[in-house]
Structure 1
Amino acid sequence: AQGIGECLEIGETEMYGEPFAVPEPLETVFVSWYEGGEVFRSGLTYQRGAGRIFYFSPGHETYPIYHNQGVQQVLRNAVHWAHNPAPAWSGITNAPNVPTDAAKEKIVQKGLRLHADGDKGLS
């Protein structure tokens, strides 16, 4: 999120919402808020083997979102981050996740959790 500031405001976009059943990310970099109060984890990082993955969902190709300077900065940052060598964590459980109850803003966990009890599946 370097160079983005407090928030990245996008005027027109398609709304996406939770639940978003994806694996637990290393970090949630961006959370989108919509006019109706919906939220969506829209910037997530992953480590798979020696590879780094950044999921980013700024909206829909119908709108000129990819011409937004902030979105272009996020994409440049993502390429830079993914290109750098990954940290040598001993396992995914040692990645720097922030628990829901330690988030800067209150987050209410809703719906299914992919890893509620380790790797035992959905709960």
Structure 2
Amino acid sequence: MKKMVLIFLCLLASSAQAKFIHPLDFDGSQAQKDEVISYIQARVKKDYCGTINMCQEVMLRMMEKENLEAFKRLTKAADRSVLDRSIHDYCGTIDMCTYQMVEMMYNQNLKASKQQLSW
């Protein structure tokens, strides 16, 4: 029983320490790669095991992969101000802070920033 409690506390501590890394501040170091992976794993587990009841290994791995791919694409974002706003809105204002969501909103906002109302 003590062993189970210790394992649980270690897992909780590692997920609590994982922090969101801004894609444009990513330096490619192993430490930051590990931090991004830890953040993604903790976030996906929180969303799919805690928020909604879809805690299946296949779902977790699929969403982890999607988020890592979204992060990699975001490291090449062209407009930092649009990306910063997407991060602010989805990681600060509301709790939907996944790289996949940030990327989706970044792309939509970037597209909208180039449009104007016309007849």
Relative to its length, the structure with more helix (as a share) is 2
Pick the structure with more strand per residue.
Answer: 1
* Greater relative contact order structure (CA < 8 Å, 6+ sep): 1
Q: Same fold (TM over 0.5)?
A: no
- Provide the TM-score with structure 1 as the length reference: 0.30
Larger Rg: 2
What is the TM-score when the length of structure 2 is the normalising length?
0.31
